[in-house]
Structure 1
């Protein structure tokens, strides 16, 4: 017996359904219903939900790099500085993950099923950084730090604004006025810090990236800081 659906159909359906039900509500049974097949048909392609999540994250990476074959394009501007390339790479990751409900959670901790999915983009970034004076180890750590910051911010951001593309919808748990009312008298600075962190999330993300880039620059030899 051969399944009449393929892996790509399953993954595309799962990513679409993810925006409707979120990660907790995403099930193989629900995906099978969308595809009008019995749930066992999916097990020809994925043994469990984790295998599906791995493939979903891989497909998200392919879309992020702009190449179905997985080679990918540069992580940032081809003719820019290493700072611009690193910043744009992180912005691209954030934009893509925010396009999916719980996209940050799906992406975090999953394994690429296609080793080449991000290879082209990563290679281009490593080339840019090493040509700017980084050792390969320092270049890899710079990206690793900025990348993990980005994914972490997306997870937090999507807990505040759970519906993709609808920034006006905010989880009531992040009501800053209520938080300040509860904390303000005893912990006034902590109360105000919450608004700085979770108020303008775009601004907070950009500020954090600049802090990271500044730290990376500070660790370079003077001639390689350009």
Structure 2
């Protein structure tokens, strides 16, 4: 059987498959080339460096998020608060499918415009809700940055070599002189789903207070 034609899409898909085993730090062009049965220099015809590969990987993740939605069609949100909450929750769920998925996304630049339609629609909901286009963009990116940052920390904690040995009761005892810091451990290291939702609710509330124009400010 002939080997599949080597192209950017195949390299990115192979890299995403290896990501779960190797993690981002262990994902090298050499490892990908070995998996594909080629020499590492062959990959440089398609990607000038690892960041270029990460850009394509992030783009492939984004394509999958839009083309393989889990379950039923998402609701047609009219309320901007519900839209942000659902969109960022969906982004977190998708990033968690990949080891170090949020690190791949962070700082990457999409290599095509497949994201633009969904982004435009989301900004449209914000504008319809009373935001100026500039403030709509700021609201969206604020929630986006919160989500990416939360998942980076969440995934880093989950993959830490000493994670299994993290005993919160022992931690609290060690920090007995600092009762608030000791108690904070239960919030910081447990119940990630609830923690994400609570933080996102705070972000949405802050967006409404600081970015949504008041009636007197609207034209």
- The structural deviation recorded for 1:181 is 2.2
Cα distance change of structure 1 residues 148 and 192 upon mapping to structure 2, 3 Å threshold: same
Write the distance in 2 (CA, Å) between the matches of 1:174 and 1:142.
36
Write the distance in 1 (CA, Å) between the matches of 2:57 and 2:136.
27
* Count of residue pairs the alignment pairs up: 207
Q: Does 1:172 align with 2:169?
A: no
Q: Are 1:162 and 1:171, in contact at CA under 8 Å, matched by a contact in 2?
A: yes
TM-score, normalised by the number of residues in structure 2? 0.87
Q: 2:126 aligns with which of 121, 126, 129?
A: 129
- Partner of residue 71, structure 2: none
TM-score, normalised by the number of residues in structure 1? 0.85
Q: 1:113 aligns with which of 93, 111, 114?
A: 111
- Partner of residue 194, structure 1: 185
- The structural deviation recorded for 1:188 is 1.1
Spell out, residue by residue over 1:22-51, the C-alpha distance to the aligned partner (whole angstroms, 9 max, x if none).
001101111111111111111110111111
- Deviating beyond 4 angstroms after TM superposition, the runs of 4 or more aligned structure 1 residues are 221-224
Q: Are 1:160 and 1:174, in contact at CA under 8 Å, matched by a contact in 2?
A: no
Write the distance in 2 (CA, Å) between the matches of 1:95 and 1:121.
17
Spell out, residue by residue over 1:55-103, the C-alpha distance to the aligned partner (whole angstroms, 9 max, x if none).
1111111122228xxxxxxxx6324411111111101110111010011
Unaligned 5+ runs, structure 1:
68-75, 164-168
- Partner of residue 73, structure 1: none
Q: Does 1:207 align with 2:198?
A: yes
Unaligned 5+ runs, structure 2:
69-73
- Partner of residue 57, structure 1: 58
Write the distance in 2 (CA, Å) between the matches of 1:137 and 1:45.
36
- Partner of residue 82, structure 2: 84
- Partner of residue 141, structure 2: 144
Q: 1:101 aligns with which of 99, 114, 129?
A: 99
- The structural deviation recorded for 1:174 is 4.2
